[in-house]
A = this chain, B = another copy of it.
Amino acid sequence: MGASKKVPIPGSFLYDPALLEGLDWTSVNNLLSPSITNTEPGEQWLLVRPLQLEDYDKGFLQLLSQLTAVGNVNRMTFERQYWAMQKSGGYYVTVIEDTRNRRIIGAASLITEYKFIHEGGLRARLEDVVVNNTYRGKQLGKLIVLTVTLLAKKLGCYKMTLDCKDTLIVFYKSLGYKLEPGNANSMVIRYDATPS
């Protein structure tokens, strides 16, 4: 089942790809039409999997630059962050690859956080969601967000949160995220001048 059967992928993953097997898509069946899942993403050449070191050469950073300022990230910086994430644990950076041209065309990150509250629980965050503009109309934004949202549930997180612009509220509402009345504010201090 899943990723490893479709194409043999050399090298390591940022996290165990087996975690993406057996996600409970029945609970979100009604949110996608036609129905797709991370293991059956609608087109046979699409592959949903954890980030790999090799994704530096598959346009992962170029994809992120459609989202926000990436700046000057060379291979050494990319690998430094990759290994820091893997060592730390809790970083579930997940991508969609178009295996025809070996390009990363979608990404979303689940980050988990240990808590003392909630019975010593695990909290989840959604970060850095982006899908290549030229792949619109395939529900890939919904697919990648739901994939990591279901993964957070599988990991036992008690909640998953995200910060977003006004223009994205409708999208995330369609996937089950809520603005809780009186408790939906995200505030920021920026230590440098660059947005996001």
A-side residues, CB < 8 A to B, are 60-61, 64, 67-73, 77-78, 80-81, 84-85, 87-91, 93, 111, 113-120, 127-128, 149, 152-153, 157-167, 169, 172-173, 176-180, 182-192, 194, 196
CA of A71 to CA of B187 in the docked complex: distance in angstroms? 28
Which of B81, B173, B185 is close to A166, meaning CB atoms less than 8 Å apart?
B185
Inter-subunit contact A158/B89 (CB<8 Å): no
The A interface is mostly helix, strand or loop, or mixed, namely mixed
Inter-subunit contact A117/B67 (CB<8 Å): yes
A153: which B residues are within 8 A, CB to CB?
A: 191
A72: which B residues are within 8 A, CB to CB?
A: 119
Instruction: Check A186/B161 contact, CB under 8 A, given A68-B117, A116-B64, A117-B196.
Output: yes
A152: which B residues are within 8 A, CB to CB?
A: 191
CA of A78 to CA of B173 in the docked complex: distance in angstroms? 35
| Shortest CB distance A58–B (Å) | 13
CA of A117 to CA of B127 in the docked complex: distance in angstroms? 11
A-B contact pairs, 21 of them (CB 8 A): A60-B116, A64-B116, A70-B116, A70-B118, A70-B119, A81-B115, A111-B113, A113-B127, A116-B128, A118-B196, A153-B191, A158-B192, A159-B189, A159-B190, A161-B163, A161-B188, A163-B163, A163-B183, A165-B183, A169-B187, A179-B185
